[in-house]
Structure 1
Amino acid sequence: MEDTKSLALFYVADGHRLEQQSWLLAASLAAAHAGDERVRQFAYVTKANRAGMQAATLAIFEACNVEVRTLAETPEWKKPYPHGNKIVAACDDRGTSHSVFLDTDMACTASLAEFMDLPADTCAAAPEGRPTWGGKNARWTRAYAHFGMSVPEERVTLLRGSKVEYVPYFNAGLVAFPETRHDDGRRFGEHWLDTALDFDRNCAIANKRPWLDQITLPLTMKRFGYKTRVLGERYNYSLSNRADYAMTPDAAILHYHRMKFLYQAPQWPALRDTLLDMMPGAHRDAAVAHIQDIETSLEADAKSASI
């Protein structure tokens, strides 16, 4: 790992759908960090899909200085868990002092360079929107007890709905962490994978999927002594099913989930133009067609709803 501060922004772009989402993410990250040589981008793809990557994906990655890496072999989850690819990617050594994982259904509007100032014992993530797991049958108590721990006394404010106070529970769409090796020789990603595999295989508790990554994130933090910087909506603003998109704040990260939500946000025109400006000319038609398909389908849906 380098002695000076540096930051890896990484995501999983495995398969056609995630590849197309990654075009906008790569372009928006490149624009937000233009001129900052401390920040690097990495896209992870499985060995099975790497040979078939779309030409437009490779072109935008080259334009945005994204390094493509092959994911390590899938670990032995109790049942298939594609979401686990983010944890596998987190284990990779990118040679930077800090890393930020991002879901591909995100767009960036401001620099994330501040995350390279995280202390060696501190991770950062935003609370989940709603209590999607653990609210019944004392599941959090049982989850912590599996590792010989008690549920933390601190609470976080969830970011959607009635914004309830809840046990530490974070959206795993953006997770920032230091790459410091601990006394056991392992880094945060390896601690997260160890926790997730153990919990998946050995803890008899229901409904782990698709939330296994989010369940084990706070478990990992407590188990290995990480402190948490609790982020606000600015760093993981969920756009899904908002009542008034004109009120979308000036967030650094928009987590749009589906393009129909991003299309309604006031940031969309600038983000669209950033993608088209950065896509190399030979592949711009593919990007234009992709955007037109999205906009046409959404406009048709709007007309249908108004009839």
Structure 2
Amino acid sequence: MTSQTLSILFVADGQRLEWQSWLLASSLAMAHEGHQTVRLYAYASDSYLPEVSAATRDLYAACSVDLRALPPTPGWRGDYPHGNKLLAASDHRAGGRAIFLDTDIVCAKPLTAMADLPADTVAAAPEGLPTWGREDDRWERAYAHYGLPVPTERVRLLRGRKKEFVPYFNAGFVCFSEDPQGAEGKRFADHWLETALDFDHNCSIGGKRPWLDQITLPLTMARFGYKAEVLGETWNYSLTRRKDYSQTPDAEILHYHRAAFLEQAPQWPAILSDFWGRMPERHHDTARSCLEEMGLTL
């Protein structure tokens, strides 16, 4: 077992994300029971922190989640809420490695294997579909912005025809080193945020939103010499519009997008039962009401 710290972080900035974070936090706590090197972090903006409910704060305490303020929002070219993941990633934690998770996720198995990856390696699963740069020269222009050729390696996308595509990853699960790399003393998260800001302002190319985080993830790897650990789909298994949920694999991560899809997963009853055991009983009525408003049938 590794002794390296693994920080797992997510954003709970806003009411719906806060409700989703209950299931994520409790499932992370369940999956990592007894793993002393795992640290959990939730992030919200300074303006939203006073609005975080007592139910959330008490559940976080029960799950050993450290609630923190997001670093200040940088000067995006326009409104970009997805950028909060880059801000959360850029915060300073305990070193070792970190995993950023989208909040519409539940964890079904320990993620501790990610702690053993080399410091120069970033791990993520391919995107399901080619949501950006599918039919034109956008990737050529994106890499040319940094004086780089398009990589020759390809990844196999995880949905539809599962076509081979340029390196393109779903940014709902990204694992990276927290330690500085290179002479400048910057970490991967610093490089990712720097690249996203530059690309947002200085690369004249269309359709950046909401894909800016996913576009600049492989660009950051190429710019700064990070290696990609291409994960299988169980590390970021999308539940969206599956034909047969009885075939859901024994996955580490279930990425549900909408609550109705989560309810169909075989792992859901155990995750829900554990959640009720961790949420203090005095908040059960409130939690039930909020989760039902989120779209669950309890």
Q: TM-score, normalised by structure 2?
A: 0.97
The whole-number CA distance in structure 2 between the counterparts of 1:180 and 1:197 is: 21
- Take 1:118 and 1:235, find their aligned partners in 2: how far apart are those partners? 15
- Structure 1 residues 153 and 40: CA distance shift in structure 2, 3 A: same
Bigger shift: 279-288 or 115-124?
A: 279-288
Question: Could you say which residue in structure 1 is the equivalent of 2:253?
Answer: 253
Cα shift at 1:295: 4.0
Q: How much does 1:143 deviate?
A: 0.2
1:300 corresponds in structure 2 to: none
Question: Per-residue displacement from partner, 1:214-249 (whole Å, max 9, x unpaired)?
Answer: 000000001000000000111000000111111111
- Whole-Å Cα distance in 2 between the matches of residues 167 and 214 of structure 1? 12
How far apart are residue 287 of structure 1 and its match?
A: 2.2
Question: Counterpart in 2 of 1:276?
Answer: 276
Distance 1:295 1:112 in 2: 26
Paired with 1:179 and 1:265, the residues of 2 have a C-alpha distance of: 33
Distance, in Å, in 2 between the alignment partners of 1:92 and 1:27 is: 22
2:52 maps to 53
Matched, 1:103 2:133: no
Deviation at 1:281, TM superposition (A): 1.6
8 Å CA contact 1:276, 1:288 repeated in 2: no
RMSD: 1.3
Letter in 2 for 1:28: S
Size of the aligned set, in residue pairs, is 295
Is the CA contact 2:62–2:278 (under 8 Å) kept in the aligned structure 1? yes
Quote the offset at 1:92 in angstroms.
0.7
1:166 CA displacement: 0.2
Does the residue aligned with 1:288 lie in a helix, a strand or coil?
Answer: helix
Which residue is 1:131 aligned to? 130
For structure 1, which runs of at least 5 residues remain unmatched after alignment?
298-307
The residue number in structure 2 matching 1:179 is 178
**C-alpha contact (below 8 Å) 1:9/1:102 kept by paired residues:** yes
Runs of 4+ in 1 over 6 A off after TM superposition: none
Deviation at 1:44, TM superposition (A): 0.4
CA–CA separation in structure 1 for the residues paired with 2:287 and 2:138: 45
Q: 8 Å contact 1:276–1:287 — kept in the other structure? A: no
What is the deviation of 1:60? 0.7
The Cα of 1:96 is off from its aligned counterpart by: 2.7
Runs of 5+ unmatched residues, structure 2: none
Kindly indicate whether the alpha-carbon contact (under 8 Å) linking 2:10 and 2:43 is maintained by their aligned counterparts in 1.
yes
1:289 Cα deviation (Å)?
2.9
Q: Would you say 1:65 and 2:64 are equivalent positions?
A: yes
Matched residue, 2:118: 119
Give matches, 1:9-48, under 5 Å.
9-48=8-47
Return the alpha-carbon distance in structure 2 between the equivalents of residues 188 and 211 of structure 1: 19
Superposed CA offset, 1:55-79 (max 9, x none): 1111110100000110111100111
Task: Sort the Cα spacing of 1:155 and 1:202 in 2 relative to 1 into closer, same or farther, 3 A.
Answer: same
Distance 1:209 1:221 in 2: 20
Q: Which residue of 2 aligns with 1:223?
A: 223
Match of 1:237 in 2: 237
* Deviations 1:14-49, CA, capped at 9 Å, x for gaps: 010000000000000000000111001000000000
Equivalent residues of 2:96, 2:179 under 8 A apart? yes
Question: Equivalent residue for 2:204?
Answer: 204
Rounded to whole Å, the distance in 2 between the matches of 1:146 and 1:102 is: 28
Structure 1 contact 4–97 (Cα < 8 Å) conserved: no
One-letter code of the match for 1:217?
Answer: L
Q: Which letter maps to 1:203?
A: C
SS in 2 for 1:159: coil
TM-score, normalization by structure 1: 0.94
Q: In the TM superposition, what whole-angstrom CA distance separates every residue of 1:228-279 from its partner, at most 9, and x where no partner exists?
A: 0000111000000111111111111000000000011111111111111110
